Chain A
Amino acid sequence: MQYAMFIYESAADLAKRNDPQAADSYWGSWSSYIKALSEAGVMVGGNGLQPYQTGTTLRLQNGKRHVQDGPYADSKEQLGGYFILEVADLDAALDWAARCPAAPNGAIELRPVLPPPSGL
Chain B
Amino acid sequence: MNEDARRPLPLDVAEAADRAARVSYGRLLAYLSARARDVAKAEDALADAFQAALKSWPVAGVPDNPEAWLLTAARRNLDHAARHGKVRAAAAPALAWLQDEIAARGGDGFPDERLKLLFVCAHPAIDPAARAPLMLQTVLGLDAARIASAFLVSPAAMGQRLVRAKTKIRDAGLRFAVPESDELADRLEFVLDAIYAAYGSGWDAIAGADPRQRGLTEEAIWLARLVVGLLPNEPEARGLLALMLYCESRKAARRDADGRFVPLAEQDIGLWSRDMIGEAEAALRAAAGMGRLGRYQLEAAIQSAHAQRGLIGRTPWHGIATLYEGLVRLSPTVGALVGRAAAVAEAEDAAKGLALLADIPAAAVADYQPYWALSGHLLLKLDRSAEAADSFRRAAGLSEDPAVRAFLLEKIFS
Interface, chain A (partner B; CB < 8 A): 24-25, 28-29, 31-37, 39-42, 90-91, 94-95, 98-99, 101, 103-104
Interface 1/0s, chain B 382-414, versus A by CB < 8 A?
A: 000000000001111111101001101100110
A93 to chain B, nearest CB (A): 10
Whether a CB of chain A sits under 8 angstroms from the CB of B366 is: yes
Contacts of A95 in B (CB 8 A): 152, 367
Contacts of B393 in A (CB 8 A): 28, 31-32, 35
Say yes or no: B394 contacts A39, CB within 8 Å: yes
Whether a CB of chain A sits under 8 angstroms from the CB of B157 is: yes
- Give me 16 A-to-B residue pairs in the complex whose CB atoms sit less than 8 angstroms apart, sorted by A's number: A25-B406, A32-B408, A32-B409, A33-B396, A35-B393, A36-B367, A36-B394, A36-B398, A91-B153, A91-B157, A94-B153, A95-B152, A95-B367, A98-B212, A99-B399, A101-B405
B260 to chain A, nearest CB (A): 12
Interface 1/0s, chain B 360-384, versus A by CB < 8 A?
A: 0000001100000000000000000
Q: With the chains together, A32 CA to B406 CA distance in Å? A: 11
Say yes or no: A36 contacts B152, CB within 8 Å: no
Q: With the chains together, A23 CA to B258 CA distance in Å? A: 20
Contacts of A98 in B (CB 8 A): 152, 212, 400
With A32-B393, A35-B397 known to touch, is A40 a contact of B154 (CB < 8 Å)? no
Contacts of A32 in B (CB 8 A): 393-397, 405, 408-409
Question: Looking at the complex, which one of B153, B395, B413 makes contact with A28 (CB distance below 8 Å)?
Answer: B413
Contacts of B406 in A (CB 8 A): 25
Say yes or no: B366 contacts A39, CB within 8 Å: yes
A15 to chain B, nearest CB (A): 17
Contacts of B396 in A (CB 8 A): 28-29, 32-33, 36
Say yes or no: A94 contacts B154, CB within 8 Å: yes
Question: Looking at the complex, which one of A28, A42, A94, A103 makes contact with B412 (CB distance below 8 Å)?
Answer: A28
Q: With the chains together, A33 CA to B398 CA distance in Å? A: 7
Known: A32-B409, A36-B397. 13 other contacts (CB 8 A): A28-B393, A28-B412, A28-B413, A32-B408, A36-B394, A41-B366, A42-B367, A90-B157, A94-B152, A94-B154, A99-B397, A99-B400, A101-B405
Interface-central residue, B153, B366, B367, B413, by most chain A CB under 10 Å: B367
Say yes or no: A29 contacts B366, CB within 8 Å: no
Say yes or no: B413 contacts A40, CB within 8 Å: no
Q: With the chains together, A103 CA to B367 CA distance in Å? A: 18
Q: With the chains together, A33 CA to B367 CA distance in Å? A: 11
Contacts of A91 in B (CB 8 A): 152-153, 157
Say yes or no: B397 contacts A33, CB within 8 Å: yes
Question: Looking at the complex, which one of B154, B366, B409 makes contact with A25 (CB distance below 8 Å)?
Answer: B409
Residue of chain B at shortest CB distance from A104: B402
Say yes or no: A29 contacts B400, CB within 8 Å: no
Contacts of A37 in B (CB 8 A): 397
